[in-house]
Amino acid sequence: MLSSSAYPEHPEETPSGTLPAGESGEGGAAAVRPTQVEESGTLTEPAEPVDWLGLPEPIRDRVADLAAAALGRLPNDDVPRQLRPVARFAPAKRAKLGGPALLAALRDSTRFRTAVLEWLREHRVDALNPNDDDSVAAAAAAVLLGESSASSRVRLVARNTEESTLRAERDAAVARVRKLEAEVGRLRAELQEAQAAVEQARAEREDELAKLRGRLREQGVVVRKAKDAAAEAVAERERVEAERHAETEALSARLEREQQKAAAERARAERAMAEADAARQSAREARDADEVRLSMLLDTLSGAVDGLRRELSVGSSPRRPADVVRGANTGRRGGRVSEPRVLDTLLALPGVHVIVDGYNITKTGYPELSLAEQRQRLVRQLGALASRTQAEITVVFDGADVTSIPITGPRNVRVLFSDPGVLADDVIRTLVRSEPQGRPLVVATSDQAVVTSVCDSGAHAVPAAVLLTRLGRV
């Protein structure tokens, strides 16, 4: 067997026929030197391969600790790539967490194994003593140095470890047996105590049973007396219950009669209240009918007065002699309106009457709608205009296109349909001629024939575009 001095630190100093300790070429640690030359010059048998990952736990931990100690001080070039993350661990965690990786690197990387041996020879030479008194340290040194005796030392440590384990298991088993024997002795003593307690309890129970039998005989007499008293109490209770039942029935009959009387009184009261409510309702309805009739009468009289005023051309203010002088006028003759602000001025005149050529306006403003939708939209906009200006507004549609009963429009807008065979234009001309002389009239249409005739009658003609612009601001 060669000592550690047989492997010099530098490869160039290695004797011919041998390799430096730890260098096994491409085969890693599992490939050992085919032969070794001892100091005497004789050849020895090749070293038996060592299973690095199958080393006994004490040797594995020792080798991992030594490699972890060297790993933190080696240059990066000597550290395999898979060990570089382990090198960043804290020194206390390298061997614990990176043990398998360290052993695999020692097995597979000749460069790393050589670098570890060089660091150990420099800083931990005591760790490379194959003849150490500690068998684990000696076996770890032999494995690292690649000694031919490494396998036998590993087997020796494994056998010692197994024997230690078996010895520990034997000692634990002996301790368990002794503990169980002590437990059995304790249980036997407890069993004897329990048996004695059972015997004592049995004796006490027999004495108690004899006492209970005597008490039972005494209680039998008491029970018979109690039964007799209970029978008498039951009979008395039945008699009292019968009396109470009869009294309850009598009270129930009396209560029912009282309830019937109360129900009759309540019914009479409800009838009286219903009659009073009916009388109040009749009086209220009669009063409402009188008020409605009176309101209708007043509305009729007011309408008749307003119609008479319009018929007689009598205004709210009395006329003066200067108003009837011939050869002069107020300058309010009919004309064509081309601007919305002029239309606003006309709408502000008191008693102004606006006559609208319905389809002429709608087909200019929104022809994409159906005729019914055109009428509804125009009447709704005219209603808003009438609410703002207080002007009287009449809209005229041709009746030939109406196939259904139109929906009632706003109260402040008069909606007219021409009779069959009559044009809406003729209805507009008739409305203009029927108005008293001097009343402000505005006719909204773009029909030039209608514009010419109404202007000759003293009305103001407003194009459809101007009215639509005004309606858009409502």
Please tell me the distance from the alpha carbon of residue 48 to that of residue 50, in angstroms, as a whole number.
7
pLDDT for residue 15: 32
Edge-to-edge strand ranges of the sheet holding 392-397 = 413-417, 392-397, 353-357, 441-444, 460-462
Please tell me the distance from the alpha carbon of residue 15 to that of residue 35, in angstroms, as a whole number.
13
Closest CA to 452 of 333, 335, 330, 332: 335
Contact 384, 364 (CB under 8 A): no
Closest CA to 324 of 432, 442, 460, 437: 437
Please tell me the distance from the alpha carbon of residue 229 to that of residue 236, in angstroms, as a whole number.
11
Domain match, 33 and 113 both:
yes
Is 229 contained in some domain?
yes
pLDDT for residue 428: 95
Domain match, 88 and 143 both:
yes
Is 236 contained in some domain?
yes
Is 80 contained in some domain?
yes
pTM higher than 0.75, yes or no? Answer: no
3-state secondary structure of 67: helix
Residue with tokens 């008498």: 232
Closest CA to 107 of 70, 61, 144: 144
Domain match, 132 and 220 both:
no
- CA 288, 291, 293, 295 dihedral sign is negative
Closest CA to 105 of 95, 91, 93: 95
Return the half-sphere exposure (C-beta side, CA atoms, 13 A cut-off) of residue 21. 24
- Domain closes at, from 231, 256, 278: 278
C-alpha 63, offset from chain centre: 59
pLDDT for residue 412: 86
**How many Cβ atoms from other residues are within 10 Å of residue 435's Cβ?**
18
Q: Pairing mode, if any, of strands 413-417 and 392-397?
A: parallel
pLDDT for residue 371: 92
Domain match, 255 and 121 both:
no
Contact 359, 449 (CB under 8 A): no
Question: What is the 8-class DSSP label of residue 211?
Answer: H
Contact 458, 434 (CB under 8 A): no
**How many Cβ atoms from other residues are within 10 Å of residue 64's Cβ?**
23
Contact 337, 460 (CB under 8 A): yes
**How many Cβ atoms from other residues are within 10 Å of residue 113's Cβ?**
25
pLDDT for residue 338: 87
3-state secondary structure 149-170: CHHHHHHHHHHHHHHHHHHHHH
Closest CA to 398 of 431, 358, 429, 361: 358
Question: What is the 8-class DSSP label of residue 336?
Answer: B
pLDDT for residue 34: 35
Please tell me the distance from the alpha carbon of residue 463 to that of residue 451, in angstroms, as a whole number.
9
Please tell me the distance from the alpha carbon of residue 383 to that of residue 365, in angstroms, as a whole number.
17
Please tell me the distance from the alpha carbon of residue 334 to that of residue 183, in angstroms, as a whole number.
134
Listed in sequence order, the residues at least 6 apart from 169 whose beta carbon sits closer than 8 Å to its beta carbon are none
Domain match, 129 and 13 both:
yes
Domain match, 18 and 112 both:
yes
Domain match, 273 and 366 both:
no
Please tell me the distance from the alpha carbon of residue 95 to that of residue 60, in angstroms, as a whole number.
10
pLDDT for residue 406: 58
Domain match, 27 and 116 both:
yes
Please tell me the distance from the alpha carbon of residue 345 to that of residue 25, in angstroms, as a whole number.
116
Listed in sequence order, the residues at least 6 apart from 2 whose beta carbon sits closer than 8 Å to its beta carbon are 36, 38, 39, 147, 148
Is 457 contained in some domain?
yes
Structural domain count of the chain: 3
One-letter identity of residue 149: S
Closest CA to 445 of 423, 465, 422: 465
- Domain closes at, from 148, 175, 191: 148
C-alpha 94, offset from chain centre: 48
Average confidence (pLDDT) per 10 residues, the chain, 474 residues: 34 33 36 37 50 81 82 81 81 78 83 86 80 78 77 76 75 87 90 91 90 88 89 90 90 89 88 84 76 70 68 54 48 75 91 95 94 94 92 90 62 91 93 90 95 93 94 78
- Domain closes at, from 278, 299, 323: 278
Domain match, 450 and 347 both:
yes
Domain match, 136 and 198 both:
no
Q: Pairing mode, if any, of strands 36-37 and 43-44?
A: antiparallel
Is 107 contained in some domain?
yes
Is 162 contained in some domain?
no
User: Which domain covers residue 272, as residue numbers?
Assistant: 183-278
- CA 423, 425, 427, 433 dihedral sign is negative
Contact 143, 157 (CB under 8 A): no
Is 223 contained in some domain?
yes
Is 313 contained in some domain?
no
Domain match, 111 and 17 both:
yes
Domain match, 243 and 193 both:
yes
What is the rounded radius of gyration, in angstroms, for the C-alpha atoms of the chain? 65
Please tell me the distance from the alpha carbon of residue 132 to that of residue 139, in angstroms, as a whole number.
9
pLDDT for residue 57: 82
Query: What CATH number is given to the structural domain containing 431?
Result: 3.40.50
